[in-house]
Amino acid sequence: MRTTAMVGVATLVFAGCSAQGGDTTGDSGVPQDEKATLEVWTRTTPGSPSEAATIRQVEAFTEATGYKAEVTAIFDDFEIKLAQRAGQKDLPDIVLNDVSQLGTMQSQGILREIDLDEIENSKDMTAQALEASKAVDGKTYGLPYSAQANALMIRSDWLAKLGLEAPTDWDEMLAVAEAFTTQDPDGNGQADTYGLAVPGSTKRGYASWYFSNFLWAAGGDFITGSGDEWLPSMTSDEAVEATTWFRDLQCEAGVMQPGAPSMDTPPTNEAFESGVAGMYVTGPYMMPRFDKVLGADKYEVVPAPQGPKDSSVLAEGGTVYLMAGSENTKGQTAFADWYVSPEAQTYGMEGTDAFAIQLPVNETVDIADVRDDPRWQTFATAYQESGRYAPTIPSWTPVRQMSADTINALIADCSLDVEDELTKLDGKLTAELLTQGILKQ
């Protein structure tokens, strides 16, 4: 059996609510009220364009279905505040959170299972989104509603200045990165440009998050398996090759921006938009910002360069989580169904500053019908053909953090031996998988 955090939270929620009178539905015994306003938590910064986009989307849900809903945006200490509400037996009805949090939230016992037969629009969802909605027990506990996959943003003006083309494979990527670093692509006469922007910090596992694009393109993986049987795999030939290549970008070629091992995404974003680094593997959500700060005419979006195996890139996105103990389960189900409907998917992609939907997960929706910008199609193709979600296990966070610590150490200290450090990492991953009860015996 696998270990879980906050065991019994859902039971406590049900017990706390079932003492009230009224009609009940399902097995929880929670009194139901279809007129009850749905409390929707979204993990984003209050007052941000992202919050405004979510409010707009939820208001459209109410108009379309008649169910009332209110949005609360929380970014700082989101997990702590959610745990506090669980302890109070008063969870929000809906949580919009990262797809990578499914395993953790399901293990905590705060989600209710989703019956896809009740979600009419699930039949049109992408296969990888539906797969990402399943926990280790094979049941559905979240419904991805917005997808994103990474591509390569590159300074087109620098390419033109040096007479280069955008890279299509790793060898070409290294060559362009070296040229950007050594050939003064901005023409200011200073040795102040670098090839690749890298968020190499250990904070929130950023080094691992970024490196996953290269690891998967080489055919490697952090862990391998399925269901509740997994093994560490960072000492595989493919993982060693990817790690060595990535580490050499810093230790041999010197093409990462200065301070990369200490940077998370905010300063890395600044490194690209300010002209310190000329390439950046990232998601479509950065385009509105870079268009304004850098200028859309200064960079282009191309597919991530081909690795030794393929062009696999990290896929992520937002997921609708239906929380346990709701007094309006029909409203919850309607919310999930509407959010993946063609209407909602299309409406959520409209706008210019922030979007409730980055890329659609509904296959009947063509992004080209909504956005007259071919760069979005590049990201959509990356998701459809090369996008790969992180594995859904009881808790992905410690796996990401442990691997981030190792990748960060390797680019921060070039004296370390790659294979030795990866062997140590596999040992730590073995212990973590055992703790989570999913180590293959």
Distance CA(236)–CA(295), nearest Å, equals 42
Helix, strand, coil percentages, rounded to 5, for the chain: 45, 15, 35
If you write DSSP's letter for every residue of 345-363 in order, what string do you get? HHHHH--SS--S-SB-SBT
Give the strand pairing for 277-282 and 194-196.
Answer: parallel
Distance CA(241)–CA(294), nearest Å, equals 34
Q: Where in the chain is the domain with CATH 3.40.190.10?
A: 9-148+315-383, 151-314+394-435
pLDDT confidence of residue 312: 97
If you write DSSP's letter for every residue of 310-326 in order, what string do you get? ---EEEEEEEEEEBTT-
Other beta carbons within 10 Å of 66: 11
- The CATH class, in words, for 9-148+315-383 is alpha beta
Whether residue 26 has pLDDT greater than 70: no
Distance CA(358)–CA(151), nearest Å, equals 14
Split at pLDDT 50, 70, 90, the class of 24 is low
pTM of the model: 0.90
pLDDT confidence of residue 9: 41
- Protein fold of 151-314+394-435: D-Maltodextrin-Binding Protein; domain 2 (3.40.190)
Mean pLDDT of 208-222: 98
Q: What's the DSSP call for residue 306?
A: B
Residue pair 143/114 in contact by the 8 Å Cβ criterion:
yes
- What CA–CA distances, in Å, run from 148 to 98, 205, 376, 405, 414? 11, 18, 10, 25, 33
For the stretch 403-423, pLDDT in tens is: 999 999 999 999 999 999 999
Give the strand pairing for 151-155 and 387-388.
Answer: unpaired
pLDDT confidence of residue 112: 97
Whether residue 11 has pLDDT greater than 50: no
Q: First CA to last CA across the chain, in angstroms?
A: 13
Backbone phi, then psi, for 302, in 5-degree steps? Answer: -130, 160
Tally: H helices and E strands in the chain: 16, 12
Out of 1-5, 172-176, 277-281, 350-354, pick the least confident.
1-5
Report the SS3 class of residue 302.
strand
Backbone phi, then psi, for 394, in 5-degree steps? Answer: -50, -35
Type of residue found at 310 = D
pLDDT confidence of residue 28: 63
In three state form, how does the secondary structure of 110-156 look? CECCCCHHHCHHHHHECHHHHHHCECCCCCECCEEEEEEECEEEEEH
Split at pLDDT 50, 70, 90, the class of 202 is very high
- Paired with 120 in beta bridges are none
Whether residue 242 has pLDDT greater than 80: yes
pLDDT, averaged across the chain: 93
Mean pLDDT of 57-74: 98
Distance CA(352)–CA(372), nearest Å, equals 11
- What CA–CA distances, in Å, run from 347 to 167, 206, 341, 359? 34, 31, 10, 12
pLDDT confidence of residue 198: 98
Split at pLDDT 50, 70, 90, the class of 354 is confident
Distance CA(173)–CA(176), nearest Å, equals 5
Out of 23-32, 35-44, 349-358, pick the least confident.
23-32
Whether residue 3 has pLDDT greater than 90: no
Q: pLDDT exceeding 70 applies to what percent of the chain?
A: 94
For the stretch 66-117, pLDDT in tens is: 999 999 999 999 999 999 999 999 999 999 999 999 999 999 999 999 999 9
Q: What's the DSSP call for residue 264?
A: -
Residue pair 233/304 in contact by the 8 Å Cβ criterion:
no
Whether residue 55 has pLDDT greater than 90: yes
